[in-house]
Amino acid sequence: MHRVRTDLDDVHAPAYAARLLAHEVPAHRFPLEGATPQAAAQLVRDELNLDGNPTLNLASFVSSWMEPEADALALTTLNKNLIDQDEYPQSQVIHQRVISMLGDLFHAPDGAWGTATIGSSEAIMLGLLAHKRAWQSRRKAAGEPIDRPNLIFGADVHTCWEKFANYFEVEQRIVPLTDHRHTIGPEQVEPLVDERTIAVGAVVGTTFTGQMDDVAGIDALLGRIESERGWHIPLHVDAASGGFLLPFCDPETRWDFRLPHVRSINVSNHKYGLVYPGMGSVVFREKTDVPEELVFHIDYLGGDMPNYSLNFSRPSTAVLLQYFAFLRLGRDGYERIVRTCLANARVLTEHLEDTGCFAALHDGRRFPVVVVRATHDDLDLYALAERLRERGWIVPAYHLPPDAEDLHVLRMVVKENLSRDMVTILADDVKRALKAVGQAVRPERRRRHKRQPVC
Ligand SMILES: Cc1ncc(COP(=O)(O)O)c(C=O)c1O
CA of 362 to the centre of ligand 1 (A): 20
pLDDT at 302 over 70: no
Q: Indicate whether residue 395 lines ligand 1 (CB < 6 A).
A: no
CA of 207 relative to ligand 1 center, distance in Å: 7
> Does residue 63's CB lie within 6 angstroms of at least one atom of ligand 1?
no
3 state DSSP class of 383 = helix
Whether the Cβ atoms of residue 201 and residue 152 lie closer than 8 Å to each other: yes
* Number of continuous H segments (helices) and E segments (strands) in the chain: 12, 15
Identify which of 57, 56, 61 has the alpha carbon closest to the alpha carbon of residue 245: 61
Any idea which of 18-22, 167-171, 275-279, 324-328 has the lowest mean pLDDT?
18-22
Do the strands 197-203 and 235-238 form a parallel or antiparallel pair, or are they unpaired?
parallel
- The CATH fold assigned to 332-436 is Aspartate Aminotransferase, domain 1 (3.90.1150)
The answer to whether the 70-324 and 332-436 domains have the same CATH topology is no
Nearest atom in ligand 1 to 277's CA: 10
Verify whether ligand 1 is closer than 6 Å to residue 160 (CB atom). Answer: yes
Ligand 1 atom closest to Cα of residue 271: 10
Q: Does ligand 1 lie within 6 Å of residue 158's CB atom?
A: yes
Distance CA 304, CA 418 (A): 45
Helices (H), 36-77: 37-48, 68-77
C-alpha to C-alpha distances, 350 to 104, 248, 356, 371, nearest whole angstrom: 35, 23, 10, 12
C-alpha 280 – ligand 1 centre gap (Å): 9
Residue 136 has pLDDT above 50, yes or no: yes
Contact assessment for residue 381 and residue 409, using Cβ atoms and an 8 Å cutoff: yes
Q: How far is the CA of 240 from the centre of ligand 1 (A)?
A: 5
Question: How many Å lie between the centroid of ligand 1 and the Cα of residue 310?
Answer: 17
Instruction: Find the 396 Cα to ligand 1 centroid distance in Å.
Output: 16
Q: Is 120 in the pocket of ligand 1 (CB under 6 A)?
A: yes
Give the model confidence (pLDDT) of 310-363 as tens digits: 999 999 999 999 999 999 999 999 999 999 999 999 999 999 999 999 999 987
- How many whole angstroms from 118 Cα to the centroid of ligand 1? 11
User: Which ligand 1 atom sits closest to the C-alpha of 122?
Assistant: 11
349 touches ligand 1 (CB under 6 Å): no
pLDDT at 439 over 70: yes
Nearby residues of 311 by Cβ (< 8 Å), 6 or more positions away: 118, 122
185/213 Cα distance (integer angstroms): 6
CA-based diameter of the chain, in Å? Answer: 79
Q: How confident is the model at residue 453 (pLDDT cuts 50, 70, 90)?
A: very low
Query: Of the ranges 140-154, 203-217, 272-286, 288-302, which one carries the lowest mean pLDDT score?
Result: 288-302
Mean pLDDT taken over the chain: 93
Triad 234, 334, 110: Cα angle to 5°: 40
Domain positions in the chain are 11-51, 70-324, 332-436
C-alpha to C-alpha distance for 346 and 249, rounded to whole angstroms = 14
Sequence-separated contacts (24+) of 330-336 with Cβ below 8 Å: 331/248, 334/244, 334/247, 334/248, 334/274, 335/248, 335/249, 336/453, 336/454, 336/455
* Contact 275 CB / ligand 1 (< 6 Å): no
Q: pTM (2 decimals)?
A: 0.93
Residues 255-276: what's their mean pLDDT? 98
Is the separation of the CB atoms in 278 and 316 below 8 Å? no
Cα–Cα distance measured from residue 29 to residue 26, given in angstroms and rounded to the nearest whole number:
6
Mention the CATH class of domain 70-324: alpha beta
* Distance between Cα 449 and ligand 1 center (Å): 32
Give yes or no for residue 450 having a pLDDT over 60: no
157 CA closest ligand 1 atom index: 1
Instruction: Indicate if the pLDDT at residue 431 is higher than 50.
Output: yes
Cα 133 to Cα 234: distance, rounded to the nearest angstrom:
12
| Percent of the chain predicted with pLDDT > 90 | 81
pLDDT value for 75 = 96
Which of 122, 126, 158, 270 to mutate to test ligand 1, by most ligand atoms within 8 A of the CB atom?
158
CA distance 301 to 86: 7
Pocket of ligand 1 contains residue 344 by CB under 6 Å:
no
- Which of 58, 61, 120, 125 to mutate for ligand 1's pocket (most ligand atoms within 8 Å of CB)? 120
Q: Which residues pair with 369 in a beta bridge?
A: 413
With a 6 A CB cut-off, is 92 part of the ligand 1 pocket? no
Instruction: Say yes or no: CB of residue 341 within 6 Å of ligand 1.
Output: no
Q: pLDDT by residue (tens digit) across 379-390? A: 999 999 999 999
The pLDDT value given to residue 397 = 95
What's the half-sphere exposure (Cβ side, CA atoms, 13 Å) at 180?
Answer: 0
Give the distance (Å) from ligand 1 centre to CA of residue 121: 6
Tell me how far apart the alpha carbons of residues 337 and 334 are, in angstroms, rounded to a whole number: 5
Q: Is the CB of 240 under 6 A from ligand 1?
A: yes
Percentage of residues in the chain with pLDDT exceeding 70? Answer: 95
Q: Is 50 exceeded by the pLDDT of residue 455?
A: no
Q: What is the pLDDT of residue 8?
A: 77
Instruction: Say yes or no: CB of residue 61 within 6 Å of ligand 1.
Output: yes
Map residue 174 onto helix, strand or coil.
Answer: strand
Q: String of b and e for 182-193 (b: at least 16 CB within 10 Å)?
A: bbbbbebbeeeb
Which atom number of ligand 1 is nearest to the Cα of residue 60? 14
Q: Which of 54, 102, 51 is CA-nearest to residue 413? A: 54
Quick check: 277 and 295 in contact, CB under 8 A?
Answer: no
